[in-house]
């Protein structure tokens, strides 16, 4: 193109500018729903009714009982950059309302046939009709306080955009997601949703996330989630997360809000997921519903057209807070599986309206801070340092705060608690205890093992011998003294002694067999792998009788671990049956 024929610059007519802006804000029917619902929330609505037809492609109607608008404001609201929510650029810092740009209604209006009906408290009602951004009718009406916006034939004047709409089904699903996430963000608002004239969802207002989840996803789903509530520095994290024992058994759902705004933020989700490490198998991901509250000036909400992403001044701090909060929740005894899991009678019994928070044995986790008791025989060894170190000679029977324990089936340690009956799987529990002790040894230096009176000679396969060579130094840190005698023969002269019945030869053989072909290169991951493998092989097995002192020592050691309720493979270590549940089954409730 020659310079002479360069077209002149012209400022676009506002309708064209609005259509261009609409491309960013209004992607599909669900974005219209999101903007209208956010406006209703900003207007202080306590009830919002959403009705759509044909997946929102023909009609979207959002009604609220919020503050409404005066006749002048009703007209202004359709103009670009018309907002009541901020006045100056500074107001953007820490802005609390969902909207602040003053462009959503203008953008929607420019690509649809829009009707607006609104009235402030005791004020004059206004009706405005517009098409393609141009006002066609403006009249007074009588109506109660609040606002109704009808958006018909979205993209009727933008054929290129219309082509990109999906089928009604798919657009409808996106709308349901928007409403679901709004309903979780603002539990205090009553929400209803209908499709093609049929009511689909009615959510009463509530103050509790669990109740809202029960209304959205069902009471049994909601009642199984574990409560998170924790403050780190200036960051408050609260919500409900899946018990590790349940992860992978149903549809995975995640929801994160930051200062009351639902956000899509993979980094925050990953941080919360990191808390599950060593409690669930690799590859499965937990369900999470988390509200994050940070100081308003720590977060910039004006970085995404649909405000679905935020930017943090110190993201690392927020992510650590999330991980810590979730980890703390998983680190309680409550985090163990409950018997309601898989209970088939449940389907025949009318479910209670909305379950109260899962009854918990919460006084137990307070005990984790109490001084450890002297360990008894089986668990008094090197890897029970914390418990073995206290008051030599004191009788373990005098252990404070340890309930009366019984061994059942030579496999479970059972005890009664204020809120129910609790079972601990002795192998899983011991495995968890040893895993954490081995990890400390691997990460922090060397543990000393116990010399064997008669060193063991092991003849291995080639693969096992190679696995040993790869892990030689790490075995030493765990307290093993092993020499390779060339080729495939090993001489074991010292071993860690996690308990007197420890079968060192079998443990080394099985560990090496499990490690053959291990190509893990990350140092920490290698430590985890080895610690988990040795812990699994070294832990007492199901079927081994335990003395009362041994049970107490295991109980105390487990209580001191970071994740007592889960073993290294993500299976439950602790299972509880609440009195409430027992009473229900006996028909006492
Ligand atoms: N449902 C409603 N009830 C009362 N006032 C409303 C409602 N919807 C819109 N308004 C008024 O119209 C203005 C413009 O709305 P619009 O959504 O276009 O912009 P915004 O919400 O201010 O910012 P954003 O573009 O970020 O959403 C709002 O600032 C508000 O004053
Ligand atoms: Mg808005």
- Given the CA of residue 77, which atom of ligand 1 is nearest to it? 12
- Distance of CA 77 from the midpoint of ligand 2 (Å): 9
Strand-by-strand arrangement of the 261-263 sheet: 226-232, 235-241, 288-293, 254-258, 261-263
What's the CA-to-centroid distance between 39 and ligand 1, angstroms? 5
Closest Cα to residue 102, out of 8, 25, 158?
Answer: 25
Phi then psi dihedrals of residue 398, to 5 deg: -90, 10
- Going from the Cα of 66 to the center of ligand 2, the distance in angstroms, rounded, reads 13
pLDDT for res 462: 84
Rg (CA), the chain: 31
How many CB atoms are closer than 10 A to CB 157?
A: 17
Of the given ranges (44-53, 167-176, 287-296), which has the lowest mean pLDDT?
Answer: 167-176
Could you list the beta-strand ranges (E) of 153-307: 190-195, 198-203, 226-232, 235-241, 254-258, 261-263, 288-293, 299-300
Q: What is the DSSP string of 439-476?
A: HHHHHH-----EEEEEEEEEE--HHHHHHHHHHHHHHH
Residue 560: pLDDT above 50?
yes
Probe residue for ligand 1, chosen from 83, 115, 306, 307 as the CB with the greatest number of ligand atoms within 8 Å: 83
66 CA closest ligand 1 atom index: 3
Residues near 239 by Cβ (< 8 Å), separated by ≥ 6?
A: 209, 227, 228, 288, 289, 290, 291
Contact between 577 and 421 (Cβ < 8 Å): yes
Task: Return d(Cα 553, Cα 329) in angstroms, integer.
Answer: 24
**How confident is the model over 165-221, as pLDDT tens digits?**
999 989 998 999 899 999 999 999 999 999 999 888 889 999 999 999 988 888 888
How many angstroms is it from 266 CA to the middle of ligand 1?
Answer: 29
* Confidence at residue 484, expressed as pLDDT on a 0 to 100 scale: 80
Distance CA 285, CA 248 (A): 7
Task: Report CA 341 to chain centroid distance, whole Å.
Answer: 19
Nearest ligand to residue 26 Cα: 1
Query: For residue range 475-491, what is the model confidence (pLDDT) as tens digits?
Result: 999 989 998 876 788 88
Q: Which atom belonging to ligand 1 lies closest to the Cα atom of 97?
A: 21
Q: How far is the CA of 42 from the centre of ligand 2 (A)?
A: 8
Take atom 1 of ligand 1 and give the residue whose Cα is closest. Answer: 40
104 CA to centre of ligand 2 in angstroms? 5
| Residues 17 and 111 sit within 8 Å (Cβ to Cβ) | no
Distance 306 CA to ligand 2 centre (A): 10
How do the residues of the chain divide into helix, strand and coil, expressed in percent and rounded to 5? 40, 20, 40
- Count other C-beta atoms under 10 Å from residue 414's C-beta: 16
Q: Are 476 and 445 in contact (CB under 8 A)?
A: no
Residue 408's CB is within 10 A of a number of other CB atoms, namely 10
Model pLDDT, residue 419: 81
Which is the closest atom of ligand 1 to the Cα of 82?
Answer: 14
Atom 4 (ligand 1) nearest CA: 68
pLDDT value at residue 397: 44
**CB of 568 within 8 A of CB of 558?**
no
Distance CA 397, CA 417 (A): 18
How remote is the CA of residue 64 from the centroid of ligand 1, in Å? 13
Task: State the maximum Cα–Cα separation within the chain, in Å, rounded to a whole number.
Answer: 101
Q: What ligand 1 atom has the least distance to the C-alpha of 146?
A: 3
Query: What span, in angstroms and rounded, lies between the C-alpha atoms of 396 and 38?
Result: 61
Does 51 have pLDDT greater than 90? yes
Nearest to 510 by CA among 485, 496, 530: 530
The burial class, CB within 10 Å (0-12 / 13-18 / 19+), for 318 is buried
CA–centroid distance, 262 to ligand 2, in Å, is: 15
* Shortest-distance ligand to the CA of residue 66: 1
Structure tokens at 378: 């089986």
Beta-bridged to residue 111, according to DSSP, are: none
Pick the atom of ligand 1 nearest to 107's CA.
18
**Phi and psi of 277, rounded to 5°?**
-55, 140
Which protein residue's CA is at the shortest distance from atom 12 of ligand 1? 77
Percent of the chain scoring above 90 in pLDDT: 43
Average pLDDT of the chain to the nearest whole number: 83
Looking at residue 356, its pLDDT comes to 27
Q: Phi first, then psi: give them for residue 472, nearest 5 degrees.
A: -45, -50
Q: What are phi and psi of 379, to 5 degrees?
A: -110, 15
pLDDT at 357: 26
* CA–centroid distance, residue 126 to ligand 1 (Å): 15
Closest atom of ligand 1 to CA, residue 67: 4
Q: How far is the CA of 161 from the centre of ligand 2 (A)?
A: 21
Q: Which residues fall inside 5 Å of ion ligand 2, going by CB? A: 39, 99, 104
| pLDDT, position 4 | 64
Report field, pTM of the whole predicted structure over 0.75: no
Asked if residues 48 and 110 have their Cβ atoms less than 8 Å apart, the reply is: no
pLDDT of residue 29: 96
**Which class for 192: exposed (0-12), middle (13-18), buried (19 or more C-beta within 10 A)?**
middle
For residue 484, with 0-12 CB atoms within 10 Å meaning exposed, 13-18 middle and 19 or more buried, which class applies? Answer: middle
- What pLDDT, on a 0 to 100 scale, did the predictor assign at position 343? 21
Quote the tokens at residue 577. 């049956």
Closest CA to 297 of 84, 90, 87, 101: 90
Nearest-atom index, ligand 1, CA of 83: 29
- Is 421 in a helix, a strand, or coil? strand
pLDDT of residue 358: 25
Ligand nearest to the CA of 100: 1
Given pLDDT bands bounded at 50, 70 and 90, which one contains residue 470? confident
Distance 11 CA to ligand 2 centre (A): 25
Q: Which ligand is nearest to the CA of 82?
A: 1
Q: Which of 102, 109, 143, 144 is the pocket-test mutation for ligand 1 (most atoms within 8 Å of CB)?
A: 102
Query: Measured from the CA of 39, which atom of ligand 1 is nearest?
Result: 8
- Quick check: 141 and 127 in contact, CB under 8 A? yes
Ligand closest to 25 (CA) is 1
Helix (H) or strand (E) run with residue 119 in it = strand 113-119
Choice from 18, 21, 34, 39 to test ligand 1 binding pocket (greatest atom count within 8 A of CB): 39
Residue spans of alpha helices (H) in 382-425: 385-388
Pocket residues: Cβ below 6 A from ligand 1:
35, 39-40, 42-43, 64, 66-69, 77, 82-85, 99-106, 147
pLDDT digits (tens, 9 = 90+) for 293-337: 999 889 998 888 778 888 999 999 999 999 999 999 988 766 666
Give per-residue pLDDT as tens, 536-545: 988 999 998 9
| Residue of the CA atom closest to atom 11 of ligand 1 | 77
- What is the band of 86 on the pLDDT scale with cuts at 50, 70, 90? confident
DSSP code per residue over 73-114? HHHHTTSTT--SS-SSGGGGTT--SS--SS-HHHHHHHTSEE
Query: Which of 7-21, 225-239, 365-379 holds the top average pLDDT?
Result: 225-239
Centre of ligand 1 to C-alpha 59, Å, is 20
Nearest to 290, CA basis, from 310, 270, 306, 307:
270
36 or 524: which carries more pLDDT confidence? Answer: 36
> What pLDDT score was predicted for residue 3?
56
Q: pLDDT tens digits, residue range 328-378?
A: 998 876 666 654 332 211 222 222 222 222 222 222 222 222 422 233 233
Which pLDDT score, from 0 to 100, does residue 399 have?
52
pLDDT of residue 520: 73
pLDDT of residue 384: 33
Q: Counting every residue, how long is the chain? A: 589
User: What would the 3-class secondary structure string for 350-393 be?
Assistant: CCCCCCCCCCCCHHHHHHHHCCCCCCCHHHCCHHHHHHHCCCCC
Helices (H) and strands (E) in the chain, counts: 18, 23
First to last CA, the chain: 84
90 pLDDT band (50/70/90 cuts)? confident
Report CA(207)–ligand 2 centroid distance (Å): 25
d(CA 497, CA 507): 11
Contact, 57 vs 165, CB < 8 A?
yes
Beta bridge partners of 413: 407, 424
Pocket test for ligand 1, best of 33, 60, 82, 99 (most atoms within 8 A of CB): 99
Which residues touch 504 (CB under 8 Å, ≥6 apart)?
A: 452, 456, 492, 495
Q: For residue 40, which atom of ligand 1 is closest to its CA?
A: 1
């Amino acid at each position: 193109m020659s310079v002479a024929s360069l077209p002149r610059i012209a400022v676009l007519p506002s309708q064209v500018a609005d259509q261009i802006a609409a491309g960013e804000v209004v992607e599909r029917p669900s974005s219209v729903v999101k903007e209208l619902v956010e406006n209703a929330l900003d207007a202080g609505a306590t009830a919002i009714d959403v009705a759509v037809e044909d997946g929102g492609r023909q009609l979207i109607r959002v009604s609220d009982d919020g503050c409404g608008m005066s006749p002048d404001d009703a007209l202004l609201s359709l103009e670009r950059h018309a907002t009541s929510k901020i006045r100056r650029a500074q107001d953007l810092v820490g802005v609390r309302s969902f909207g602040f740009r003053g462009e959503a209604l203008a953008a929607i209006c420019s690509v649809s046939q829009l009707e607006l009906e609104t009235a402030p408290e005791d004020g004059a009602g206004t009706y405005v009709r517009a098409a393609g951004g141009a006002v066609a009718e403006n009249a007074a009406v009588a109506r109660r306080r609040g606002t109704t916006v009808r958006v018909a034939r979205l993209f009727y004047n933008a054929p290129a955009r219309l082509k990109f709409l999906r089928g009604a089904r798919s657009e409808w699903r996106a709308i349901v997601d928007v409403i679901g996430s709004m309903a979780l963000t603002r539990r205090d608002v009553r929400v209803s949703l209908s499709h093609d004239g049929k009511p689909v969802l009615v959510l009463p207002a509530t103050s509790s996330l669990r109740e809202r989840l029960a209304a959205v996803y069902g009471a049994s789903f909601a009642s199984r989630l574990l409560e998170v509530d924790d403050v780190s520095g200036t960051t408050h994290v609260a919500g409900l997360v899946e018990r590790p024992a349940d992860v992978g058994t149903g549809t995975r759902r995640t929801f994160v809000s930051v200062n009351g705004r639902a956000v899509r933020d993979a980094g925050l989700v990953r941080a919360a997921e990191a808390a599950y490490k060593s409690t669930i198998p690799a590859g499965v991901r937990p369900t999470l519903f988390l509200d994050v509250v940070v100081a308003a000036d720590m977060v910039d909400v004006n970085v995404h057209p649909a405000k679905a992403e935020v930017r943090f001044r110190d993201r690392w701090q927020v992510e650590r807070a999330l991980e810590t909060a979730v980890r703390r929740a998983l680190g309680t005894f409550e985090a163990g599986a409950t018997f309601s899991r898989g209970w088939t009678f449940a389907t025949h019994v009318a479910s209670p309206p909305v379950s109260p928070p899962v009854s918990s044995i919460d006084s137990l986790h307070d005990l984790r801070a109490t001084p450890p008791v002297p360990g008894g025989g089986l668990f008094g060894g090197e890897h029970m340092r914390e418990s073995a170190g206290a008051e030599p000679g004191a009788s373990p029977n005098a252990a404070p705060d340890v309930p009366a324990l019984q061994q059942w089936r030579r496999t479970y340690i059972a005890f009664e608690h204020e809120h129910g009956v609790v079972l601990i799987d002795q192998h899983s529990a011991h495995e968890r205890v040893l895993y954490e002790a081995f990890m400390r040894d691997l990460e922090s230096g060397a543990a000393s093992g116990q010399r064997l009176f008669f060193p063991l000679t092991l003849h291995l396969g080639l693969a096992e011998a190679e696995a040993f060579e790869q892990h030689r130094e790490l075995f030493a840190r765990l307290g093993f003294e092993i020499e390779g005698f060339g080729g495939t023969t090993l001489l074991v002269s010292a071993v860690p002694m996690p308990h007197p019945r420890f079968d060192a030869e079998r443990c080394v053989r099985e560990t090496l067999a499990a490690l053959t072909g291990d190509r893990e290169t990350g140092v920490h991951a290698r430590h985890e792998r080895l610690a988990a493998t040795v812990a699994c092989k070294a832990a007492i097995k199901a079927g081994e009788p335990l003395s009362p002192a041994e049970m107490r020592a295991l109980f105390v050691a487990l209580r001191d671990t970071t994740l007592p309720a889960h073993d290294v493979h993500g299976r439950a270590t602790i299972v509880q049956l609440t009195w409430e549940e027992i009473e229900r089954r006996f028909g006492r409730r």
